[in-house]
Amino acid sequence: MPIQIKQSSRTRYVRDLGEFSVVSGAIRFTDPCYANDVWCKGSMLAANGKYQAQIGFFRDPYDERSMLEKIDQFKYLLHYHAKFGETYKDHLFSFEKLVSKARDQANWDGKLQSVERLFQLIKEEPDVEKQRIYKELADDAVEWYSKCYVSEEYNYWEKQSWLLFEINSTFAHARPSISTRPSKFRALMLDQHSQHLSEDQIRGKVKKIEADERRDFIANLERKITDLKDAYAAGKPLRTHFLRIKHESVPSFNSIETGKWHFNTDFDVGVDSGQAGFFDELWYERYNGDSNSQDLPAYFNLCTLSSGGNHDRSVKKSMKEGGVFEFGANSYTAHGDGSAPLIYRLNKAGEVIEAAYLYDDVNFEKSEVALNNNKATIEQKVK
């Protein structure tokens, strides 16, 4: 019984890969690096002739939010340096270690994964002055990041866990500004011995090194923020949304959202090389992804097809996510290994004439509500 794919289109970019031939009356659906004897592959009768292959790209909502969060982290570091940089520069390294410790002690009970664990460690700090400074730094970071997680889709402990993750990630980025490069200080010590520098001269050189490092760090942060904003506005990053093929008897590709498709439940298309493809059955039976095959050139060509091993080299490297050769087509998946969801259409003879791997989860909308709510709040912050 044909199904209707209930999925709003997220495709940002589509590229034709070219044509390949089916001559054996069947198509192998498989990871291109699989041998013949694996269980997680399948074959179906297919119309002989030329097939056109096409790849689509989309921006995963998780990637979209992640990019916005990265911008927000860098903006927080600018805020941190403006507010605390000079005052607490001698305590930044020890605070970063405390945050890492809070994450390292994470447990499956939820509570220990939360930012509350960080405040518990701060309370255990025996030095009263350090305790005050750590709490001021933690309070400031929590206030900053709490504005990101406003969706009701996240419960209390999930929000607390995300807060700790964000703070930990942020101060990991701050490592370059925590201490100056050792090579510069070694050079400074050599200067002291060779030029007989006074303590005041040494202090002056140290201050200049620290000022230069801080200036370079902030300038680098500002460049990163600009680059990330430009990439976000350009619709990046992109992942493979689908790989689809159609027989020459089909005038044009049927829309994934509006076409009548069969969803494959007869076999699993496993993925262990981050790729999946469509291949002429007899060709693949002979030249398959068995690395022990005597035809090693065919094996290596097959397994590197998605990275541009055998197709148009004029395509930008970032878009080399799929390829074709004489008897097949394959592409990288959206999220690496696992299983490739397969849909297909048949002719009246019961032969495959159109097929597609949908790498974007068709049930993704359930979690997208929370992602979009958070994205909107972070977007407002990073403008």
Q: Which of 143-147, 270-274, 361-365 has the highest mean pLDDT?
A: 270-274
Task: Kindly indicate the confidence band of residue 52, based on its pLDDT and cuts at 50, 70 and 90.
Answer: very high
Q: Which residue has the higher pLDDT, 92 or 323?
A: 323
Find, among 264, 348, 358, the residue nearest to 11 by Cα. Answer: 358
Q: How sure is the predictor about 186, in pLDDT bands with cuts at 50, 70 and 90?
A: low
74 pLDDT more than 50: yes
Is residue 116 pLDDT above 70, yes or no?
A: yes
Provide the pLDDT for residue 157.
Answer: 57
User: What's the mean pLDDT in 230-244?
Assistant: 85
Q: What is the DSSP letter of 20?
A: E
Lowest model confidence (mean pLDDT) among 99-108, 151-160, 215-224: 151-160
Q: Which of 43-47, 207-211, 338-342, 349-353 has the lowest average pLDDT? A: 207-211
Which tens digit of pLDDT belongs to each residue from 141-154? 888 877 766 555 55
Q: Distance between CA atoms of 273 and 259, rounded to whole angstroms?
A: 30
From 232, 236, 322, select the one nearest 59 (Cα to Cα).
236
What is the per-residue pLDDT for 26?
A: 97
Q: Please, are residues 227 and 219 in contact by the beta-carbon 8 Å criterion?
A: no
* Greater pLDDT, 335 or 2: 335
pLDDT at 51: 97
The whole-angstrom separation of Cα 47 and Cα 273 is 28
Once rounded to an integer, what is the mean pLDDT over residues 73-93? 78
The whole-number average pLDDT for the span 97-122 is 73
Whether residue 78 has pLDDT greater than 50: yes
Q: Pick the residue with more confidence: 196 or 217?
A: 217
Spatial neighbors of 18 by CB under 8 A, at least 6 apart, are 52, 53, 311, 312, 324, 329
- Is the pTM of the predicted complex or chain greater than 0.75? no
Give mean pLDDT, residues 60-72: 80
CA angle 24, 26, 29 (to 5 degrees): 130
> Omega of the bond prior to 237 within 30 degrees of 0, cis?
yes
Under 8 Å between Cβ of 284 and 35: no
- Distance from chain centroid for Cα 236: 11
Residue extents of the structural domains in the chain: 3-60+238-368, 62-236
Higher pLDDT, 244 or 171: 244
Q: How confident is the model at residue 83 (pLDDT cuts 50, 70, 90)?
A: confident
Which of the given ranges, 7-11, 68-72, 120-124, 359-363, has the highest pLDDT on average? 120-124
Q: What is the mean pLDDT of the chain?
A: 76
Q: In this predicted model, what pLDDT tens digit does every residue of 282-311 receive, in sequence order? A: 988 887 766 555 555 666 666 676 665 444
Q: When comparing pLDDT for 195 and 140, which is higher? A: 140
Candidate from 192-196, 220-224, 237-241 with smallest mean pLDDT: 192-196
- The predicted pLDDT at position 292 comes to 55
Confirm if 54 and 354 have CB atoms less than 8 A apart: no
- The predicted pLDDT at position 5 comes to 47
The pLDDT value recorded for residue 361 is 55
Q: Mean per-residue pLDDT for 254-266?
A: 78
